[in-house]
Chains A and B, each alone.
Chain A
């Protein structure tokens, strides 16, 4: 299990235990984290699991892939550290990962 912190737009923190091998999105949905709807079920096709990665963590979560880039580029509220969290696998290295939940998804 790996601890991941979701920070709501009002700064409330939700800490969840995520199962390795799943995705950060799964960890959010399984723990009823609000603001992560993940309509498409993790296919990188709906952009409803948008998160802002904590800056210190951003280089460690891997690169944005092409499909993710295409769909995120349509969002005017996209930021430098935006990711679709269905595309971020949970591993031991993610222990302590912190992501912010964008207000536009609430």
Chain B
């Protein structure tokens, strides 16, 4: 951990109720890596649901922690802008990439429409058999009754294959996509994936961008086809993008399709192992998979927050938000809001309304790939259940050092084959 980061590590390990509310700063990777954030969010929801943090690593910001307040922010994009960034950190002048998730209307809609056909129901229907075959291929090569890291062998491998398919990226180089996605979201720290911000920027600019420019140049001279690069290269609203915009939208699509699904694939294993009654219920009735999948996504909440920026003075939950203020909407907290979700801290695979959660956000920026994500998870669990009696967690999972990405780096498991 860097010295700069150290001075802001003020919450970890302290009793949530012993810290004065005006010293609360939830932007602390230590809390999420240790999975101890929930108690702090519970207090915020009760005592200061729209909370002002006067200073942090990224300056002052508001935390919005209740489901209904988050919905209000998401429903008013003209007041709560997605520009200049959806992360608490502002864009750096020397790496000002631009992506449609961090744009307002009309540009956001124009660019989003260019690529959203790839996740249209008809595309998903034709992708499903491909995904099923790839998942089967991965599961069939796994060792049984032997410890391995589920994150690496299944979650990363599967999402890497999926991304390579969506981009029509050279299949044998698919781990590069995973690597660039990780670099894009890594918090620089000594010994970390990237040690400095500049190093991360250079990897994306000097490795990722040229690789995709090459693909772009190839696709732009071919007739349009159904992969994301071809869609961007031929799309009316995207074909004239400058390099920083191209870079930005690549990062968006890579990260969007990578971390989120990956960590939900890992999370499901953990939640089922921690809740043997739910695992037993699933084994007895595999038709519960379609309701279990959104519950996994709620419980995991793979992206903890999005940032918005107030375009005008406004009032939210009785608090006066000033024009220009940063507003963090904490999906992870909203997904634990007892006022909206019944028994929110429990993992229940047959909830009545399982899709009532904030993991995909809401409103015009709602996750474009939500149904693709659900389909990947559903097909994966269908194929797991065909083969294995249990995916047994045999050690303590390790979590990522991050605020935004709620994920796992290690998930030691052993597979128990089905009796033949």
Q: Counting CB contacts under 8 A, is B314 at the interface?
A: no
Please give, as numbers and ranges, the residues of chain B lying within 8 Å of A46 by CB-CB distance. Answer: 362, 366
User: For the complex, what is the distance from the CA of A67 to the CA of B105, rounded to whole Å?
Assistant: 13
Distance in angstroms from A35 CB to nearest chain B CB is 10
Q: How many angstroms between the C-alpha atoms of A73 and B75 in the bound complex?
A: 15
Verify if A45 is at the interface (C-beta below 8 Å from B).
Answer: yes
Please give, as numbers and ranges, the residues of chain A lying within 8 Å of B364 by CB-CB distance: 70-71, 74
Q: Which of B75, B112, B121, B362 contacts A103 (CB 8 A)?
A: B121
Are A45 and B353 in contact (CB-based, < 8 A)? no
Tell me which residues across on chain B come within 8 A of A41, comparing CB atoms. Answer: 353, 356
Interface string of B95-126 (1 = CB under 8 A from A): 00000000001000100110011001110000
Kindly provide the distance from the CB of B205 to the nearest chain A CB, expressed in whole angstroms.
30
Given A43-B71, A43-B362, A104-B121, verify A70-B105 contact (CB < 8 Å): yes
Contacts of A106 in B (CB 8 A): 121
Query: Are B75 and A76 touching (Cβ within 8 A)?
Result: no
Q: Which residues of A contact B117 (CB under 8 A)?
A: 76
Cβ-defined contact, B362 with A40, below 8 A: yes
A104 to B122, CA, bound (A): 7
Assess the A45–B113 pair: CB atoms within 8 A.
no
* CA distance in complex: A38, B75 (Å): 15
Contact in complex: B355, A47 (CB < 8 Å): no
Q: Which residues of B contact A104 (CB under 8 A)?
A: 120-122
Once the chains are docked, how many angstroms separate the CA of A104 from the CA of B371?
Answer: 11
A:74-106 near B, CB below 8 Å: 74, 76-77, 103-106
Give the contacting residue for A74; candidates B116, B122, B355, B362; CB below 8 A.
B116
Residues in A with CB closer than 8 Å to B355 are: 37, 39
Output the nearest chain A residue to B71 by Cβ-Cβ distance.
A43
Contact A74 B71 (CB under 8 A): no
CB <8 Å contact, B74 and A45: yes
A90–B121 CA distance with the chains assembled, in angstroms: 29
Query: Nearest Cβ in chain B — how far from A77, in angstroms?
Result: 8
Closest to A76 in B: B113
Q: Residues of A contacting B226 with CB < 8 Å? A: none
- For A74, list chain B residues within 8 Å (CB): 109, 112-113, 116, 364
Complex: A4 Cα to B71 Cα, angstroms:
29
Interface residues in A, total, Cβ within 8 A: 20
Residues of B within 8 A of A47 (CB): 366
Closest to A70 in B: B364
- Cα-based distance from A47 to B120 in the complex (angstroms): 14
B356 contacts A73, CB within 8 Å? no
Least CB distance, B308 to chain A, in whole angstroms: 14
Residue in B closest to A41 when the chains form the complex, CB atoms: B356
A44 lies within 8 A of chain B by Cβ: yes
The answer, yes or no, to whether B77 is at the interface (CB within 8 Å) is yes
Question: Please, how many angstroms separate the alpha-carbon atoms of A45 and B364 in the complex?
Answer: 7
Bound CA span A40–B353, Å: 10
Q: Is the CB of A73 within 8 A of B71?
A: no
What's the minimum C-beta distance from A41 to chain B, rounded to whole angstroms?
6
Inter-chain CA distance A75–B71, complex, in Å, is: 21
Q: In chain A, what residue has the closest Cβ to B294? A: A39
Mark out the residues of chain A between 48 and 88 whose CB falls within 8 Å of any chain B CB in the assembled complex: 67, 70-71, 73-74, 76-77
Q: How far is the CA of A71 from the CA of B113 in the complex (A)?
A: 12
- Tell me whether B363 is interfacial, beta carbon within 8 Å: yes
> Complex: how many Å from CA A73 to CA B105?
11
Min distance, Cβ A83 to any Cβ of chain B, angstroms? 17
A70 to chain B, nearest CB (A): 6
Q: In the complex the two chains form, what is the Cα distance from A46 to B355 in whole Å?
A: 11
- Contact of A76 with B116 at beta-carbon distance under 8 Å, contacts A70-B77, A104-B121, A105-B121 already known: yes
Please indicate which of the listed interface residues B74, B117, B121 has the most CB atoms of chain A within 10 Å of its own CB.
B121
Cα A70 to Cα B77 in complex, Å, equals: 10
Closest residue of chain B to A102, judged by CB? B121
Binary flags per residue of B56-91, CB closer than 8 Å to A gives 1, else 0: 000000000000000100110100000000000000
Closest Cβ of chain A to B59, distance in Å, is 29
Residues of B within 8 A of A44 (CB): 75
Which residue of the partner chain B has the closest CB to A38? Answer: B355
Alpha-carbon distance between A67 and B362 when the two chains are bound, in angstroms: 12
6 A–B contacts from the bound complex (CB under 8 Å): A37-B355, A39-B360, A44-B75, A46-B362, A70-B363, A74-B109
Q: A37-B355, A46-B362, A70-B77 are in contact. List 20 more A-B contacts (CB 8 A).
A: A39-B355, A39-B356, A39-B360, A40-B356, A40-B362, A43-B75, A44-B75, A45-B362, A70-B363, A70-B364, A73-B109, A74-B109, A74-B116, A74-B364, A76-B113, A76-B116, A77-B120, A103-B121, A104-B122, A105-B121
Lowest 8 CB-CB distances: which A-B pairs, in order?
A45-B362, A39-B355, A45-B363, A104-B121, A74-B109, A45-B75, A40-B362, A71-B364
